[in-house]
Amino acid sequence: MLGLAYELKEKGANRIFVTATYGLFTEGLEKFQKAVDDGVIAGVLSTNLTYRTPELLAKDWFTEVDCSKYIAYYILAMHQNQSVSKLLDPHKKINTLLEKYKAEQGK
């Protein structure tokens, strides 16, 4: 992940954000801190679906993405024997946001 970020930076990328569903940081936080300090990455986003150390949570470059709501949706759908396909399909949410944006621009 960081190797790719360094390559992208060399090719002229401006702001690079690293994302991971399960940010384990098995080799520690130092390499990520160095990449931030060197201006290679602007930040890291990862879900709350795995353990996050207090040290990680204290980093100003780390943003936690809360997935609790979606886990609850999956559990409810499975409990009610419903498909989770509509939960995974972003089209309705995107269209709703676009309509909201258009309405705000029309004001």
CA atoms within 13 A on the CB side of 97: 5
> Over the stretch 21-54, which tens digit does the pLDDT of each residue have?
999 999 999 999 999 999 999 999 999 999 999 9
> Over the stretch 75-92, which tens digit does the pLDDT of each residue have?
998 999 988 887 778 888
Our CA dihedral for 20, 25, 29, 33, rounded to 10 degrees, sits at: -20
Model confidence at 107: pLDDT above 70: no
Q: Are residue 107 and residue 75 in the same domain, yes or no?
A: yes
Q: Are residue 41 and residue 7 in the same domain, yes or no?
A: yes
Q: Are residue 59 and residue 71 in the same domain, yes or no?
A: no
Q: Are residue 99 and residue 85 in the same domain, yes or no?
A: yes
Q: Are residue 35 and residue 47 in the same domain, yes or no?
A: yes
Q: Are residue 45 and residue 16 in the same domain, yes or no?
A: yes
Place of tokens 């960081």: 2
- The total domain count for the chain is 2
- Tell me how far CA of residue 24 lies from CA of 6, 34, 41, 88, 106, in angstroms: 20, 17, 18, 24, 45
